Amino acid sequence: MKNQSTFTPKKSLRALGYVAFLMMTILAFNPVYGQSKTTLQNERTIKGVISNDDGPLESASIVLKGTKIGTSSNSKGEFIFPKPLKTGDVLLISYLGYETVEMKIKADTGFIRLRLSEDLLEFVGALNSDKPYKSKRSNK
């Protein structure tokens, strides 16, 4: 009881002051600490699996937009992105003949499951030629 009576509001304020000073000192002398911790929390390894209508898609390319950093999917359609990614990064996922998908990494993205849809095209082609035109003539 006696001890409690000696613990006056004035003393507790002083103690709080010491703690605050200590914390401020730590933060002041190690300013990067807080920042890098949040970045580390954001950056993570992204994995995923790419498929088409027939099943897993091998050799689909996964590239970080605006760079040439990337990887491609294995025979099971799986990939592990080689660089840790943070929220807001954009991946370009593509395969020749399929629509390219832009995928934004969201706060809760960790695993990507994506089915690519085919680019619908009707293929045609006309030849150009330097062969001089020749009229068809009936033999008179």
Partner 1 sequence: MRYLFLFIFAFQSNAQISDFGTVNFNEADKIALEYKNEKLNNLPELAYKLTANLDTDVERFRAIFMWVCGNIANDYRLFHKNMRKRQRYRDDSLKLKKWNDHFSKIVFKKLLKKNKTLCTGYAYLIKKLSVLANIDCEIVHGFARSSTTNVDRLDTPNHSWNAVKLNSKWYLCDPTWASGIPNLATSKFEFHYNNGFFLSNPKLFAVNHYPADKKWMLLLDEDKPSFKAFIEAPIIYGKAYTNLSVHKEPKKMHNIIQKNESIVFEFQLIKPVEAKDISLLIDNGKSSKKVHPELTSIKNKSLTVEYKFERMGFYDVHFLIGKDLISTYTFRVKG
Member of 67, 76, 88, 113 binding partner 1 (CB under 8 A) = 67
Q: Which residues of 101-126 are buried (b: 16+ CB within 10 A; e: fewer)?
A: bebebeeebeebebebeeeeeeeeee
Q: Which residues pair with 43 in a beta bridge?
A: none
Calculate the alpha carbon distances from 25 to 31, 34, 36, 66 in Å: 10, 13, 18, 40
Least separation in angstroms between CB 60 and partner 1: 9
Member of 87, 92, 109, 115 binding partner 1 (CB under 8 A) = 92
Query: Judged by CB, which is closer to partner 1: 37, or 140?
Result: 140
Q: Which residues pair with 51 in a beta bridge?
A: 56, 115
Q: What is the size of the binding site for partner 1 (CB under 8 A)?
A: 33
- CA dist., res. 25 & res. 123, Å (int): 69
Query: Judged by CB, which is closer to partner 1: 1, or 121?
Result: 121
Question: Between residue 97 and residue 126, which ones bind partner 1 under the rule CB under 8 A?
Answer: 97, 100, 118-126
Instruction: Tell me which residues touch partner 1 (CB under 8 A).
Output: 59, 61, 63, 65-68, 70, 72, 92, 94, 96-97, 100, 118-135, 137
